[in-house]
Chain A
């Protein structure tokens, strides 16, 4: 896996280098994009770009592992901004996933009933 990543990285470096040459030659005038102007660290923007592509690949793998269907996964990853993709690559497992009101264990039930009555939680709709 590590090996594969290294190959991908080398390939990406080549692609980006060629890509930037092309961009300079074209009519784009090489303007700094708004998104990259918002970033804090530009010192290693090429490395960042590579990390970014790898992050997206990571997210795609993770989403597939979480049961997202193959024909959906590319669109879902594409809709993420770079920052969001990186967040998800880094800590999807630790991220809260909103799923709503689902059954709780009985022991927890009693505690939550008390905290509900105290107004600290909102598990049971009948406590106001």
Chain B
């Protein structure tokens, strides 16, 4: 604030009348450009320009938000749409932007680096099970309890009337007058949808919309100093016009330039979400995020509900060793040990260093009384340095 307006009143008085507000405005503008960066259009990959020039998923319904409740509204909008509703004339490209597909061929080694970087520490399941075990008993016997959702096997029942209002009690935090991101994912899960966070790039956003998946995004409409966090659903875009089309707040068809949207989106680290029913993998989700999302779904609904998704993931990403690992575990828990063995063998075929898959392969063989094979697999696991070495050794000793 280095204006010295009061100090030199005589000079100022000679200036035209509206010079002062104009100056203030100019100064603010400069400051904001410095603070906020340039609001130019985001740079897109070449592959993105090969997407259909104009996409609009017109059949995505609209649930206008009521006071503070954009989270429930955005979720209701996305949950009440499935790509089967896609109009026939909408162009559906065969392939996703090239850069997105490359990320699918991630080896398990990269998973861990990714994990460490994001501080995303996963833990054993039993703890969650124990906290969950007491919930059915403690539930009030009310018929409208959403516990009923989690009890139904995934995919068997589609809730038909999810409204923004019905989701308020599941995702809205009265004390915060808003909804937080983890609960957005969790609520989708409760309604038999797997929530896949997207890669935080503009190319990925457009790719998902082009592939027929509306994307729930989080924006900060305001400046970092006075945040105004908002969830909206991107349903289309126009590449030549550089315009996005969204269901947002109280506006059914909100259009926004790429540049303005990206300025508001980057403040949430470009957070976005696509939903899919079990058994379908949205085009363009990355290997790591897909495995995480299905694994979280499995924790809530059980291996039977996740099996079809694991199978679909191995088909969509045949080089994803962890997808086969997940398929192996789910198959085993569904009492299909032969399928489990096959899946674990595929996993180690893709990534020979995946000690945990060797370990589980050995344990299934052991359970099937195939001691020689169990020994061979466990020896592999015990020879690989890493987290599972100790467990593999003790399993070997007990053979």
Please give the residue numbers on chain A whose beta carbons come within 8 Å of chain B beta carbons, in ascending order: 15-16, 19-20, 23, 27, 29-43, 45, 48-53, 56-57, 63, 65-69, 71-72, 74-88, 92, 95-102, 104-105, 108, 111-112, 114-115, 118-123, 125, 128
A86: chain B residues within 8 A (beta carbon): 121, 123
Cβ–Cβ contact B228 & A104, under 8 A: yes
Q: How far is the CB of B315 from chain A (nearest CB, A)?
A: 18
Cβ–Cβ contact A38 & B69, under 8 A: no
Instruction: Give the most central of A49, A65, A105: most B CB within 10 Å.
Output: A49
Cβ–Cβ contact A99 & B70, under 8 A: yes
User: With A and B bound together, what is the CA distance between A110 and B74 in angstroms?
Assistant: 29
> Contact partner of B123 among A48, A71, A121, A122, CB < 8 A?
A48
Cβ–Cβ contact A45 & B185, under 8 A: no
B32: chain A residues within 8 A (beta carbon): 111, 114-115, 118, 120
Known: A45-B123, A79-B189, A118-B33. A38 touches B180 (CB 8 A): no
User: With A and B bound together, what is the CA distance between A82 and B121 in angstroms?
Assistant: 9
Cβ–Cβ contact B227 & A79, under 8 A: no
Q: Is B170 an interface residue (CB 8 A)?
A: yes
Please give the residue numbers on chain B whose beta carbons come within 8 Å of chain A beta carbons, in ascending order: 25, 28-29, 32-33, 36-37, 39, 65, 67-71, 73-74, 111-112, 115-116, 120-128, 130-132, 134-135, 138-140, 142, 145-147, 150, 169-170, 173-183, 185-187, 189-190, 218-223, 226-231, 249, 251, 254-257, 259-261, 263-264, 268, 291-292, 295-296, 298-300, 322, 325-326, 329-330, 332, 356, 359-360, 363-364, 366-367, 387-388, 391, 395
Across the A-B interface, how many residue pairs have beta carbons closer than 8 Å?
Answer: 298
11 further A-B contacts with Cβ under 8 Å, apart from A34-B330, A68-B169, A98-B230, are A16-B127, A29-B366, A35-B295, A53-B130, A56-B128, A95-B181, A105-B226, A114-B25, A115-B223, A120-B39, A120-B223
Cβ–Cβ contact A96 & B229, under 8 A: yes
User: With A and B bound together, what is the CA distance between A65 and B298 in angstroms?
Assistant: 29
B169: chain A residues within 8 A (beta carbon): 68-69, 72
A-B contacts, 21 of them at CB < 8 A, read A20-B126, A32-B329, A34-B295, A37-B325, A40-B115, A41-B121, A65-B175, A68-B174, A79-B187, A82-B122, A82-B125, A83-B292, A98-B218, A99-B177, A100-B230, A105-B226, A111-B32, A119-B257, A121-B36, A121-B223, A125-B251
Cβ–Cβ contact A66 & B183, under 8 A: no
B147: chain A residues within 8 A (beta carbon): 74-75
Chain B residue at minimum C-beta to C-beta distance from A20: B126
A29: chain B residues within 8 A (beta carbon): 332, 363-364, 366-367
Q: How far is the CB of B294 from chain A (nearest CB, A)?
A: 8
A125: chain B residues within 8 A (beta carbon): 251, 254
Instruction: Give the most central of B32, B125, B182, B187: most A CB within 10 Å.
Output: B182
A42: chain B residues within 8 A (beta carbon): 387-388
Chain A residue at minimum C-beta to C-beta distance from B135: A74
Known: A31-B364, A36-B125, A74-B139. A119 touches B295 (CB 8 A): no
